[in-house]
Amino acid sequence: MDANVRNIEKRLDALERMQTMTMKPPIANVGTLGLWAFALTTAMLSVKELRVGASDDGAVGVTIGFAFGFGGLVQLLAGILSALRGQSFSAVAFASYGGFWLSYGTYEVLAYEASSLAIKSPKKPCCSCGDFSLLCSSVRR
C-alpha cells in the first residue's frame, strides 16, 4: 500500500511540473489602458469640435494623431490582449473602438485632403463628420 501511495505522489508531482511548464505567463489587465485611450481621444475630439484654443489645422493634426496612435492602435492592442486573457466583452469593445478611431483618422485625413483640393474644384464631399459618427454609432448598436 505504501508503494502505491508513493507512486501516486510521484505521478502527481510530475503532472504539476508539466502543468507549470506549459502555463502561459500572466498578461496584465489592459482595461485601464483601453479606457484611458478612449477617454483621452474622445476628449481631444471634443476640444477639436468645440474649436477651443487651436486653429482648425492644428486641431485636426492633433486629433488625427490621437485617433491613429492612442485611440486606434492602443485600443486595438488592448482588445487583442484582452482576448488573450479570455475577456471577450472587453476584447470586442476595445477592438471595435480601436477600429473606429483608425477609420475616423483615415476619414479625417481624406476629408482634409479633399478640403485642400476644394479650392481648385468646388465639389462638396459626399458626407460630413457628423454623418460618419452617426453611421458608426448606429452600426455599434
pLDDT tens digits along 12-71: 888 888 776 666 667 788 889 999 999 988 888 887 777 766 566 666 777 788 888 888
User: CB neighbours of 60 closer than 8 A, spacing ≥ 6?
Assistant: 48, 108, 112
Residue 12 lies in a domain: no
Q: Is residue 5 part of a domain?
A: no
* Domain residue limits at 113: 29-140
**87 lies in a domain?**
yes
Three-class SS of residue 1?
coil
- Whether 11 is covered by a domain: the verdict is no
Q: Supply the pLDDT for residue 138.
A: 56
Domain membership of residue 76 (yes or no) is: yes
Residue 117 lies in a domain: yes
Q: Write the pLDDT tens digit of every residue in 93-104.
A: 999 999 999 998
pTM for the whole thing?
A: 0.63
C-alpha to C-alpha distance for 29 and 22, rounded to whole angstroms: 21
Domains: count for the chain: 1
